[in-house]
Amino acid sequence: MGKELAEAEIEIAKEKLEAFIDDRGARRWGNATVNLYFALEHLIKALLAISGIEAKSHEGLRILFSMHFIKPGAISPKIGRYLGNLYDRRVTAEYSPLRRSEFTEEEVNTYLEWVKESLQEIFPLIEKGEIDTRGLKSVVERL
């Protein structure tokens, strides 16, 4: 499960970041927010997979991420907060069509900074698992 699942999650994260780039260019701020959330979620799933852990739900992901990486001090608590806040905004973007217009470029730029900060902490841990992140990093360079 570990390495193979982690590599699959990294590929999905890469696809979500590529979709974010397209959405940002088209000024689709709600969709951009959704794709940033899912990129971060799949990176965290990759990190968990390296440790032999598979989350079955968003809540499970948050609990397992906190238990195995935040509480032991490997990842800053703010990354967990970023994940939770992005999740809430993703839900708004996807399930509240009348509120989609409230998403702004400024807000999305804040979320992008959160994801970049998260990547700085998550990448080294993923790479310790001998997972190839070159493709993902090439997309991150375009953010």
User: Among 53, 64, 66, which Cα is nearest to 9's?
Assistant: 53
Mean pLDDT of the chain: 95
Q: How confident is the model at residue 101 (pLDDT cuts 50, 70, 90)?
A: confident
d(CA 107, CA 139): 21
Rounded average pLDDT over 96-121: 95
pLDDT digits (tens, 9 = 90+) for 110-139: 999 999 999 999 999 999 988 888 899 999
d(CA 136, CA 106): 24
Q: Which residue has the tokens 């570990």?
A: 2
12: which 2 tokens? 């999905």
CB contact at 8 A, 3 and 50: yes
- pLDDT of 100 over the 90 cut: no
55: which 2 tokens? 């989350």
